[in-house]
Amino acid sequence: MGNGARGESNPLEHAKGAWQQFQQYASEVKIETKRVTWPSTQEVYGTTVMVILTTFIFGIYFYILDLVFSRGVTGLLNYFLHRG
């Protein structure tokens, strides 16, 4: 097989190409970051408070469900196992 049949290049040229691709990517990221509409401090605070409150509410809800199911299953097991 010939030496240039597959478009082989030396590793240095490959590294330069990879570096140029990375620089282009970083440049595009910088441009897109400037286009982003960032939330205000008040919006971030409000959504953070909502996430924390929702987390606590769901935690309490699942805790209560866990207690109900736990006691229900324990009661059923006690009923059927000690019936006799």
Q: How does pLDDT run along the chain (84 residues), one tens digit per residue?
A: 445 555 556 777 777 888 899 999 999 999 999 999 999 999 999 999 999 999 999 999 999 999 999 999 999 999 999 886
14 and 27, same domain (yes or no)? yes
| pLDDT value for 6 | 54
3-state secondary structure of 27: helix
Quick one: 31 and 63 in the same domain? no
Query: What pLDDT does 82 receive?
Result: 87
Tell me which residue range forms the domain holding 66: 38-84
Count of structural domains, the chain: 2
For residue 20, CA distances in Å to 9, 16, 29, 31, 32 come to: 16, 6, 14, 17, 18
- 6/30 same-domain check: yes
Burial class (CB in 10 A: 0-12, 13-18, 19+), 42: exposed
In order of 10, 11, 44, 45, 56, the CA distances from 48 in angstroms are 52, 49, 6, 5, 13
Whether 75 and 55 map to the same domain: the answer is yes
Q: What pTM did the predictor assign?
A: 0.56
Query: What's residue 16's pLDDT?
Result: 81
